[in-house]
Amino acid sequence: MGLPALEFSDCCLDSPHFRETLKSHEAELDKTNKFIKELIKDGKSLISALKNLSSAKRKFADSLNEFKFQCIGDAETDDEMCIAKSLQEFATVLRNLEDERIRMIENASDVLITPLEKFRKEQIGAAKEAKKKYDKETEKYCGILEKHLNLSSKKKESQLQEADSQVDLVRQHFYEVSLEYVFKVQEVQERKMFEFVEPLLAFLQGLFTFYHHGYELAKDFSDFKMQLTISIQNTRNRFEGTRSEVESLMKKMKENPLEHKTISPYTMEGYLYVQEKRHFGTSWVKHYCTYQRDSKQITMVPFDQKSGGKGGEDESVTLKSCTRRKTDSIEKRFCFDVEAVDRPGVITMQALSEEDRRLWMEAMDGREPVYNSNKDSQSEGTAQLDSIGFSIIRKCIHAVETRGINEQGLYRIVGVNSRVQKLLSVLMDPKTASETETDICAEWEIKTITSALKTYLRMLPGPLMMYQFQRSFIKAAKLENQESRVSEIHSLVHRLPEKNRQMLQLLMNHLANVANNHKQNLMTVANLGVVFGPTLLRPQEETVAAIMDIKFQNIVIEILIENHDKIFNTVPDMPLTNAQLHLSRKKSSDSKPPSCSERPLTLFHAMQSTEKQEQRNSIINSSLESVVSSNANSILNSSSSLQPNMNSSDPDLDVLKPTRPNSLTPFRKAKALYACKAEHDSELSFSAGTVFDSVHPSQEPGWLEGTLNGKTGLIPENYVEFL
């Protein structure tokens, strides 16, 4: 298991979990620093002490073999695994060379020692300086905050306002220092994957040249060397992409942290001072508190930010009521009283500011007024997967393949934005789009056309491969072997809506043609994955963890390009019939219940009479001969649960669509086919066989609105059977 990602949004909360995660990153940096220092020492000994050459090389090889890389995230790419095992490969080579005992090359110091010392000094040293600054600001902020909170409310209003302003400035500076430190820590963790291995690779290459036995050994090593070089370059390219994304996210967090807070499972969380009665009086103890509105559970964790340790045992109580504390009833500011069901007496708490108290009161349904500052800032593009959209993409592809397939840096080199927008406005004009002419005028540069294609895909209301399948595609890319990855991605592609799948097939066929000409245009499959991964498979929420998964998005696109013929032209091996689906669900339920985000392919099941069913089947069979391909026929014949609908408004997009009840007619009764655990407050949890009171259409695609025991929420539409 790798190191957990450090989220910028956690810098503001500065929670115990954030501090523990930060400690693990700091420990890894210290471990790397010590290892590099020892490695430099061993390297110098290897160069200078020819008499001890054999023992020095053995120790050096052992050091390499013992070190293990730790990546950020829960899985590694093939390139990262290649880099991670490179040290063990180097150690094996050094052990083989130990028998030869030949002199070290004269320039070993330049290719090995100097880069490692530079990395240790410039990168790890900078991280240490950032840590000192962060620790200093932490102590300063906590000290000023405690002094500020101890101010008497009876002081003059001007003095209190001045103190509030001072605390806000210190808090903002501490937050910025925290963001910069987290950014630097993660940057060093990523840099070491290539800046640390490259000097070792150069050192080994030098050994092959000067060693008497090096020629034969170099031939054995050449395949891995090539693979490692490509992996390092790929890792470097991904680092450059993710670094700019992370830096951009950090800047956004600095400008407006409230708009980029991580979605939390708690209604409210943060630090509060809790009044505790002691035998010598009362004291105020700092706690990290969380509150869940559904269960009304308040959890209080005594924690000292300066020492980074707990000050006692956690305590959980059930909220009964919350009341704002009047200023004239207590010397402390920002206070409120909490009564618990399972604890006698009143718990007096002090928030960090008036705004903080308002948020806690709002979360606990106290007597403070409720403000709803959440706004839906999501804006949808004007692009759609309709006949105009397909026409635009086809025209762009035709222009690229006929005029610019061999242009270097195809799709990587971007066009001038004003020209791109002008071309899109021309292509999206209904009058122009309706024309049968497939050629784009030669006055438009190829880089403008390729940028217009990518921009149009980004303008869609959602990514082409859909938000709801994004995590599933990433999981597929993290599977251990290539065959499993291809198989899982094959199945996921056929779960996409038909228009999405058709557009994706059109695009992948084109990108395969581009990759086939990589010797001229320099755009390999890996390069195309870097370009199109974030566009086709972008996440719904922008976080550091999501940015770290960009490399797996690229791998998904690489698999789609390399296996486009199989994925789009063959039916995946997956259960489609009702009996098969029930059997697979029954087997999987013994080990792990299915998640709502990993829904099966089964769609609506409409109960019909035998005559109506036979009539529908006869209509389907007669229509399939002229509309549907042989692959679609095989799907239909293997699954009686998929009922085609041949009404299509676009002749270019005639596809099989599942029969479903009229979206304007509410369903009276429905039964759950599978169990589902709610992942959000707006969803319902239910077990297999549950009969809902009523089920109605929902505005959310792929979801229905159901009522169960008086509670209404969203349910996956393919988890129910209508009665």
DSSP state of 668: S
Domain end call among 552, 569, 586: 569
Q: Is the pLDDT of residue 665 over 60?
A: no
Q: Which domain holds residue 717?
A: 670-722
Q: Residues 87-141: pLDDT tens digits? A: 888 888 887 777 566 566 667 787 888 888 888 888 888 888 888 888 898 888 8
Instruction: Report residue 701's pLDDT band, with 50, 70 and 90 as the boundaries.
Output: low
Q: Residues 306-331: pLDDT tens digits? A: 777 776 788 899 998 898 887 767 77
pLDDT score for 722: 74
Instruction: Report residue 1's pLDDT band, with 50, 70 and 90 as the boundaries.
Output: low
Can you tell me which residue has the tokens 């085609």? 644
Is residue 517 within 8 Å of residue 406, measured between CB atoms? yes
Q: Which residue stretches of 442-570 are H helix?
A: 446-459, 470-477, 482-493, 498-516, 518-521, 525-536, 544-548, 550-562, 564-569
Is residue 159 within 8 Å of residue 35, measured between CB atoms? no
Concatenating the DSSP letter of every residue in 110-137 gives IIIIHHHHHHIIIIIHHHHHHHHHHHHH
In a domain, 346, yes or no: yes
**Same domain, yes or no: 221 and 275:** no
**Same domain, yes or no: 354 and 393:** no
CATH number for the domain that contains residue 465? 1.10.555.10
In a domain, 617, yes or no: no
**Same domain, yes or no: 286 and 175:** no
Structural domain tally of the chain? 4
Domain end call among 531, 554, 569: 569
In a domain, 620, yes or no: no
Is residue 283 within 8 Å of residue 332, measured between CB atoms? no
Tell me how crowded residue 402 is: count the other CB atoms within 10 A of its CB: 11
pLDDT score for 451: 94
Please state which of the ranges 153-162, 276-285, 437-446, 494-503 shows the lowest mean pLDDT. Answer: 276-285
Is residue 25 within 8 Å of residue 7, measured between CB atoms? no
CATH number for the domain that contains residue 699? 2.30.30.40
Distances (CA, A) of 315 to 268, 289, 311, 364, 365: 16, 10, 12, 17, 21
Question: Torsion-angle region of residue 654: left (phi > 0), alpha (psi -120 to 50) or beta?
Answer: beta
Can you tell me which residue has the tokens 């050449």? 222
Q: Is the pLDDT of residue 400 over 90?
A: yes
**Same domain, yes or no: 313 and 398:** no
**Same domain, yes or no: 353 and 469:** no
Q: Is the pLDDT of residue 578 over 50?
A: no
Tell me how crowded residue 550 is: count the other CB atoms within 10 A of its CB: 21
Instruction: Report residue 585's pLDDT band, with 50, 70 and 90 as the boundaries.
Output: very low
Q: Residues 4-16: pLDDT tens digits? A: 888 888 888 888 8
Distance CA(299)–CA(52), nearest Å, equals 61
pLDDT score for 684: 85
Q: Is the pLDDT of residue 352 over 60?
A: yes
In a domain, 179, yes or no: yes
Contacts 24+ apart (CB under 8 A), 95-102: 95/58, 95/61, 96/217, 97/57, 97/207, 97/211, 97/213, 97/214, 97/217, 98/54, 98/57, 98/58, 98/61, 100/211, 100/212, 100/213, 101/53, 101/54, 102/210, 102/211, 102/212, 102/213
**Same domain, yes or no: 339 and 276:** yes
Distance CA(21)–CA(11), nearest Å, equals 11
In a domain, 259, yes or no: no
Ranked by mean pLDDT, the top range of 205-209, 218-222, 441-445, 595-599 is 441-445
Ranked by mean pLDDT, the top range of 19-28, 60-69, 643-652 is 19-28
Is residue 258 within 8 Å of residue 356, measured between CB atoms? no
More confident residue, 79 or 226: 226
pLDDT score for 97: 72
Distance CA(535)–CA(417), nearest Å, equals 17
Q: Nearest to residue 471, comparing CAs of 488, 458, 487?
A: 488
Instruction: Report residue 278's pLDDT band, with 50, 70 and 90 as the boundaries.
Output: low
Q: Is the pLDDT of residue 165 over 50?
A: yes
DSSP state of 3: B
Please state which of the ranges 397-401, 543-547, 552-556 shows the lowest mean pLDDT. Answer: 543-547
Distances (CA, A) of 403 to 392, 435, 511: 16, 21, 15
Is residue 526 within 8 Å of residue 558, measured between CB atoms? yes
In a domain, 583, yes or no: no
Q: Stretch 275-280: mean pLDDT, rounded?
A: 72
Q: Stretch 228-247: mean pLDDT, rounded?
A: 82
Distances (CA, A) of 334 to 267, 271, 274, 284, 339: 20, 13, 12, 13, 17
Residues 6+ apart with CB under 8 A from 517: 405, 406, 523
**Same domain, yes or no: 455 and 522:** yes
Q: Is the pLDDT of residue 40 over 50?
A: yes
**Same domain, yes or no: 76 and 199:** yes
In a domain, 190, yes or no: yes
**Same domain, yes or no: 556 and 679:** no
**Same domain, yes or no: 323 and 237:** no
**Same domain, yes or no: 36 and 150:** yes
Indicate the residue type of 489: I
In a domain, 372, yes or no: no
Tokens of 335: 């206070």
**Same domain, yes or no: 123 and 168:** yes
Distance CA(180)–CA(131), nearest Å, equals 10
Mean pLDDT, rounded, of the chain: 77
Distance CA(365)–CA(179), nearest Å, equals 33
